[in-house]
Amino acid sequence: MRILVVDDDRRIVKTTCDILKIKGYEAVAAYSGEEGVAKVKADVPDCVLMDIKMPGISGVEALKQMRRIAPALPIILVSAYAADDLMEAAKRAGAYAILSKPLNFPLILSFLSLLRKEESILVVDDDPEFCEMLKEILTLRGFKVETETEPRSVMAHLDKNYNLAVVLLDLKLGEANGVDVLKDIQAKYPGKPVVLMTGYRQFSGDPIEQARKIGAYTCLYKPFEMDDLFRVIEEIRLNKLKNVLAVP
């Protein structure tokens, strides 16, 4: 992974880059907001660590320009001190977090470790053809995908791989009820993101509301647009990453 470090203090840049290199990352240095934007334009990195207050354009302005080049680029701003209005502007501009100096490197490294981790998804549906179709599409998007058609075997999948990023769970699994499977998941793995799927619009009442109260993330109605699914998965991923950085 390539991490771009942007700060007008060369000592901070060197120290940060040295630590990242020791931990196995490729670290790229930039000493102004303008130089940081130019480096993103030339070759988009996997993440940016950038000072919020610098001569020339600020970290907030640089962030806005970087976002226009690479909208999904994770950008973390850091500062020894910053005015509240600047901090608020940074959040509105899409900063993953605003961290204080000196940097908490264990926190940063935990974030980067999660960022590069392969995302795994479990598809639970009693229709084998639907499972394979969804697996093929998600695999092409870079996800590792497991499938399960037997409701009683879902927990075994989670026990083997409790780091699964998302569970895609059909609401009607033959004679079984997806809400009951959801209860089992949330009882053992509270907070596990579970996205319900259903082709039955008449389920838009009590079962869906019951599932939401138990902890379902959302519900998608079949046939759904794949872009909607990708948006939900990305939203879950971003929430997880921001939680690592303790973003309020």
pLDDT of the residue at 248 = 47
Name the residue with tokens 């998941």: 185
Domain 120-243 in the same topology as domain 2-116: yes
Per-residue confidence (pLDDT) for residue 45, from 0 to 100:
94
Q: How confident is the model at residue 36 (pLDDT cuts 50, 70, 90)?
A: very high
Average pLDDT (170-176) is 86
**Mean confidence (pLDDT) of the chain:** 88
Q: Are 76 and 112 in contact (CB under 8 A)?
A: no
User: Looking at residue 205, what is its pLDDT?
Assistant: 58
Q: Which amino acid is at 125?
A: D
Domain map of the chain by residue range? 2-116, 120-243
Cα dihedral 141, 119, 49, 73 in deg (nearest 10): 20
pLDDT given at position 144: 87
Whole-angstrom distance, CA of residue 163 vs CA of residue 19: 27
More confident residue, 88 or 83: 88
pLDDT digits (tens, 9 = 90+) for 42-75: 999 999 999 998 999 999 999 999 999 988 789 9
pLDDT at 203 over 60: no
* Domain 120-243, CATH number (from 3.40.50.2300, 3.40.1010.10, 3.60.15.10, 3.30.70.20): 3.40.50.2300
Residue 137 tokens read as: 């599409």
Average pLDDT estimate for 12-27: 96
Return the axis-axis angle of helices 206-214 and 178-188, rounded to nearest 10°: 10
Contact between residue 218 and residue 239 where contact means Cβ atoms under 8 Å apart = no
Topology classification of domain 2-116: Rossmann fold (3.40.50)
**pLDDT tens column, 102-139:** 888 998 998 888 777 667 899 999 999 999 999 999 98
β-strands 172-173, 176-177: how paired? antiparallel
| Confidence grade of residue 17 (pLDDT, cut at 50, 70, 90) | very high
Q: What is the pTM of this model?
A: 0.68
Strand partners, 124: 148, 169
